[in-house]
Chains A and B, each alone.
Chain A
Amino acid sequence: MRARRNLVTTAGLLGAAAVLLAGCAQDPAETPGKGAPAGGKGQTTLTVGVFGAFGLQEAGLYDEYMAQNPGIRIEQTSIERNENYYPQLLTHLGTGSGLADIQAVEVNNIAEITSTQADKLVDLGKAPGVDKASYLPWKWAQGTASAAKGGATVGLGTDIGPQGICYRKDLFEAAGLPGDRAAVGALWAGDWNKYLEAGKAYKAKAGEGKAFVDSASGVMAAVTGSSAQRFYDEQGKVVYKTNPAVRGAFDLAASFATEGLSAKLQQFTPAWDQGFANGTFATVSCPAWMLGYIQDKAGPAGKDKWDVAPAPKPSNWGGSFLVVPKAGKHAEEAAKLAAWLTAPAQQAKLFEKRGSFPSASAAYKLPTVSGAQHAYFGGAPIGEIFAKAAEGIPVTVVGPKDLVIAQNLADIGMLQVDQKGRSPQEGWEAAVKAINNALDQ
């Protein structure tokens, strides 16, 4: 909320400033953008709108680009939470004003963007320097509108979220399970049900007050992330209700709750953070971007206790895209920048500095990715683990309301089972009811 209010204020101030500067500009055609030195050589200011700590700026990519292109200045505006960022992006696209030259889009929103906003965005597939072959095919497909909508690639993939299982080596060993990451991965390789079995084995020895997973909804996100078809079919019809993959994931995750293997936490809440610090749970399905979060929350005390093993099946959770609105003043320059920011070399840098895993598979061969190890996680070869997961992720069908469906399944359905002790059937029905209302059915 605070972020949103700040943005409104900032937008207001920027708007006022833009009006003033436009009035003062000597030659608007020659010196576009604000901050142009009066009478001097034209300098173009490109704005990038992102949510959260996106990392492009933090990894020094803007500085590098500005050094290579003296005529370009890059400014970033960030809104903390995507729930606040995304509706604003939609309204700005609708009115064609208030847009940054480049806007970030979260993977759960990309289908809605490609299916409803493609005509307002630049086709980046044709931008100079963009090579389709260097991206993972499923990521490229997600950023591309259907043939019926023009077939333009409006979103260039940045990072993705291939998942592993982060686990507490010390807790595993104390419960008589193996501690070595290869042996741990072998415990459940190929089947999410084996993950449940491992949990039961853990619980039998670990005793009261020690949970196997942080939350049932985390398990559900991981399991649904490994199936090609989830909430929509290829024709764009909502099928989550009848799709056995979704119901199967829901029921499997719910059994973590009913078997007492879950710490009954809600992810990304203060209590969840405290759970990391206190070692309340032994495992968590972790996309590559979560490693830094765990390190942050578990603190120095957790060093060499946490490790990461491959997940039962390759699965994706999260990731983002960059889009360039046509309404921007410098669409051409912006497309060039977007292409550069998402090129394999830059994605590898982003991974090195920020841990965001590249969606450009060409980057996996670069030594910074292939040889990457995570010191906090016992020197785990994360480049290898996550690259293998990334290449095994199926081409997922994404739909416009994926986020709403996933959110209600997790925050209504699974949370009722996990925290309120409702039966899985009751949780499912509550989620379906909420989703029906949300989808206006």
Chain B
Amino acid sequence: MIIREELCTGCLDCLPYCPMSAIVHDEATGLAKIVEDECVECGVCYRARVCATDAVFPQPLEWPRTLRMEFSDPSSPYLSPVFEHRTIARFQRDLRGMDRRRLLDREGEELTISGRGTIEMKMNDVMGRYKRGQAGVAAEIGRPGVGARFRDVEKVARALTTAGVKFEPDNPLTDLMTDVRTGALLPEILNEKVLSCIIEFTVPLASLPRVLSALRDVSSQIDTVFAVDLISVVEEDGSVPTVPVVEAMGLTPSIAGKTNVGLGRPLAPLD
């Protein structure tokens, strides 16, 4: 995203809209300016339509900067060649062919929010993706609202492989790895910054302490934050088997979160 200097009046109304605080007041010109390296191409400043002179402008993106938009704008389709195999539905192909300005103009029913993770536990009642005796874990690097460089994403991924983690193949981050055994990412993307990027995997319940310890250790080595998610099938008596495991580590599961309420049919086997 850029601000066209010839159109900017210096009102600075756009500044607070940027989730990354990447729009700054250029003291030399008195105008608003986007710090390109900090901009994650989320499109908020453009969609906000707060600029009276339409100075905020979505410039064409080239690889690997395309990743910024793909991971930061929930309405973006996959544009980068590395995600070619993910362009499976007609509407995704249509979106891919749309110029970026029209893409960012879409609203309401025309919008397709495809997400940058998987559907995780949302359909677990009918898919049985998470079984009894397993825990689903996600580390959402950069969330909430801090943003992350892929070099930090790689640090977390590498740390997880030492704990024996196998990455979720349906997560787009896995497409950016040069070696899923080490968590190494494509070298040319490491400085790219995104609003957030999700690392997802499933582990046996017995391995959960080792994996969470690895996450805790690497958390002090990165220049951002990450949100941690913990998925579990609920036992017949209503208990959640992951809770005592993490409490024994001194962690406190949230009092609120998501519950799949078991209305999907037919139910999938969980054992």
B is a partner of A:
no
**Residues of B in contact with A (beta carbons under 8 Å apart):** none
A binding-site residues for B, Cβ under 8 Å: none
